[in-house]
Amino acid sequence: MTKTAHAFRLLAAGLLLSAATTAAHAAEDTLVALVPAGPHPYFSAWEQAGKDAAKDFGLEGGDYRVPPKWELSQQNQLLESLVTQGYNGFLVFPGDPVGGNGVVSELVEQGAPVIAGGGCLKEPSDAAFCLGTDTGNSAYIGTQELIKRMGGKGKIAHFAGFLVDPNTQLRIDAVNKAAAETNGAVEVVQVIADIDAPEPAEEKINAYLAAHGNEVDGIVTTAWIPAVVSANALRKMGDKRIKMVGIDHDEVVLQAIKDGFVDGTMLQNPYGQGYIGTFALDRLRSGCTVKEDAPFASTALTDRFIDSGTTFVDASGVDNYVGAMQAITKEIMADFETNYLTCE
């Protein structure tokens, strides 16, 4: 069993108590599909989360289904196929925040509730709500932590994710905001986006650092693969002068934090998104409705946003990152139904 898989088992174990109190209310024929926009390591946590939720809540299934490519047409085709196969609840990371609304409306019209997971659909949308990271706030906090470790001054390079990802521009804006608040002491000198895949990340990050590594004082990464590539690049350079704050919990990044090549990472909670999302879809199928006065937050895309949690960890907390994710998920689960749903 890999360290990551073991971590997911620990997360599941920590949620069993809350699950036991709710399983009796489940609809036994609930078959949930957890569908990202394409292949990506971030969403691998959804696979175990769906299985665990289905087991804990007595559902027919919670299955992870991935389009072959990051193309909206591929995701739409997969979703349309899944509903014909009997799937009746969907956690979907939008392949496009606007273009994804068409197929979501089709699914809801056929009686299958949809929750946007990991990224939001633009309103108006028939998705029940959006459950994901407050990506702007996460990137802002991460950049602030980086600036502290840079001594409050210097030049930052920002390596970001896919431009089709609705979160990418929010992260770019947040990094720029944190830098701007230093009144010129910190400058974002380079933003390289659309590189959340191994080949473009390796090519562009390594080329940039080879040419300009001596000109930057800090690196912030706001997507999984750029974080891994940057951590490896700094390790190969062997010079800990450049400070770095990454994102997510890849084992390469976590080890680089322990070894002092990376200063910290912003944890997200993909397991919690998959677990809570699967639970909520079943509750919606069981007759619950979304509360009109639910304590949703607002984002640039939607007024129906639930933060699945984020936290910064450095060398002092990296060994307990599972505990940090578990605590966030348990906190949300504890009063999720009370806060967000009306159930008969």
Which residues, including other chains, have CB under 8 Å from residue 210's CB and lie 6 or more apart? none
Task: Give residue-wise pLDDT tens across range 270-296.
Answer: 999 999 999 999 999 999 999 999 999
Residues 6+ apart with CB under 8 A from 69: 38, 39
pLDDT tens digits, 47-65: 999 999 999 999 999 999 9
Confidence label for 15 from pLDDT (cuts 50, 70 and 90): low
Reported as a single tens digit per residue, the pLDDT across 29-38 is 999 999 999 9
CA pair distance 318, 258, nearest whole angstrom: 7
The CATH class for the domain spanning 3-133+269-309+325-342 reads: alpha beta
**pLDDT-wise least confident of 1-5, 172-176, 197-201:** 1-5
Distance CA 263, CA 207 (A): 22
- Assess whether pLDDT exceeds 80 at residue 26: no
At residue 2, does pLDDT exceed 60? no
pLDDT of residue 24: 43
Q: Which pLDDT belongs to residue 28?
A: 72
pLDDT for position 190: 98
Report, as an integer, the average pLDDT of 225-248.
96
Q: Kindly list the domain boundaries of the chain, sorted by start residue.
A: 3-133+269-309+325-342, 135-267
Domain 135-267 has CATH 3.40.50.2300: yes
Residue 189 above 70 pLDDT?
yes
**pLDDT at 236 exceeding the cut of 60:** yes
Residue 9 has pLDDT above 70, yes or no: no
Mean pLDDT, residues 250-260 taken together: 97
Confidence tier at 1 by pLDDT (50, 70, 90) = very low
pLDDT at position 322 is: 82
Same fold, 3-133+269-309+325-342 and 135-267: yes
**CA–CA separation, 137 and 164 (whole Å):** 19
* φ and ψ at residue 262, rounded to 5 degrees: -125, 140
Distances in Å between the Cα of 261 and the Cα atoms of 250, 254, 315 are: 14, 10, 10
pLDDT by residue (tens digit) across 79-119? 999 999 999 999 999 999 999 999 999 999 999 999 999 99
Confidence check: pLDDT of 171 > 50: yes
- The per-residue pLDDT for range 200-224, each reduced to its tens digit, is 999 999 999 999 999 999 999 999 9
The DSSP string of 27-85 is -TT-EEEEE-SS--GGGHHHHHHHHHHHHHHT-SEEEE---SSS-HHHHHHHHHHHHHT
Rounded to whole angstroms, the Cα distance separating 59 from 190 reads: 47
Q: What is the pLDDT of residue 8?
A: 52
Neighbouring residues of 288: CB distance < 8 A, sequence distance ≥ 6: 337, 341, 342, 343, 344
The pLDDT-based confidence of 229 (bands split at 50, 70, 90) is very high
Question: Percent of the chain scored above 90 by pLDDT?
Answer: 85
Q: How confident is the model at residue 246 (pLDDT cuts 50, 70, 90)?
A: very high
Instruction: Give the CA distances from residue 314 to residues 4, 137, 158, 244, in Å, rounded to whole numbers and listed in that order.
Output: 18, 18, 19, 11
Mean pLDDT rounded to a whole number for the chain: 92
- Pick from 159, 131, 132, 166: which is nearest to 143 by CA? 159
